[in-house]
Chain A
Amino acid sequence: AQTVTQSQPEMSVQEAETVTLSCTYDTSESNYYLFWYKQPPSRQMILVIRQEAYKQQNATENRFSVNFQKAAKSFSLKISDSQLGDTAMYFCAFMKHGKAGTALIFGKGTTLSVSS
């Protein structure tokens, strides 16, 4: 069975600073996807970034980037130039490749607070 672990329940950062959220996972699969989702106070789940396990290059989306270490089963999220709107709960998620009915497996989440 797959597991996703987020070891930081809460984090805080000031505007314009950089913050890194940690995520580790456990799987015996060789092909899979990893995601970071953001859930702001509105509670709408928003996809921040995704990474295919077969790709060595780390994914980036504007101010968001990941450090994907496949051998270490680590998938951290770096947020650069933090903004007040980044305040949210962030979930790391794992999904096996291939099967249409495969669900996302979420970590417990990290609550990020950005202050001015």
Chain B
Amino acid sequence: GAVVSQHPSWVICKSGTSVKIECRSLDFQATTMFWYRQFPKQSLMLMATSNEGSKATYEQGVEKDKFLINHASLTLSTLTVTSAHPEDSSFYICSARVGSGVLRYNEQFFGPGTRLTVL
């Protein structure tokens, strides 16, 4: 149990286009999902916290108009990189936290990540 998927796993796009990344909790309901960005050999940097049915909370320095986050259901959150540029190229990881139930509510479960390359 506690599986989180991300789609796509790898995407290449042209500069100026938008890219949508999906994060799904497959076997549990995630009241909260988190989006991270990771550069090679560096740590995970929290971009935003997403709660189902409400607006995402963005970390300082993250452009909310550029990185649109939607958490429309308890099993799906999406990150849309709008008007992508080469500097947006990175590895994006989502995680989901269980609200309640048999799984430990204080754990986060991570997706496998999405590698974005903007040409």
Residues of A within 8 A of B (CB): 33, 42-45, 47, 50, 89, 91, 95, 97, 100-101, 103-109, 111
Contacts and interface: CB of A to CB of B under 8 A. Distances in A.
A42 B112 contact: yes
Contacts of B91: 43
B57 A109 contact: no
A111 B40 CA distance: 12
Nearest to A43: B113
A103 B34 CA distance: 7
Given A101-B49, A101-B51, A108 B106 contact: no
B106 A101 contact: no
Contacts of A108: 42-43
Contact of A91 (B32, B44, B108): B44
B57 A101 contact: yes
A48 to B, nearest CB: 12
B interface, size bucket? 20 to 34
Interface string B107-118: 110101100000
A36 B93 CA distance: 17
Contacts of B107: 47, 50
Contacts of A106: 43-44
A106 B34 CA distance: 13
Contacts of A89: 41
Contacts of B51: 100-101
Contacts of B13: none
A22 to B, nearest CB: 15
6 contacts: A43-B93, A89-B41, A100-B105, A106-B43, A107-B43, A109-B42
B99 interface: yes
Contacts of A47: 107
B46 A103 contact: yes
Contacts of A100: 31-32, 51, 97, 99, 105
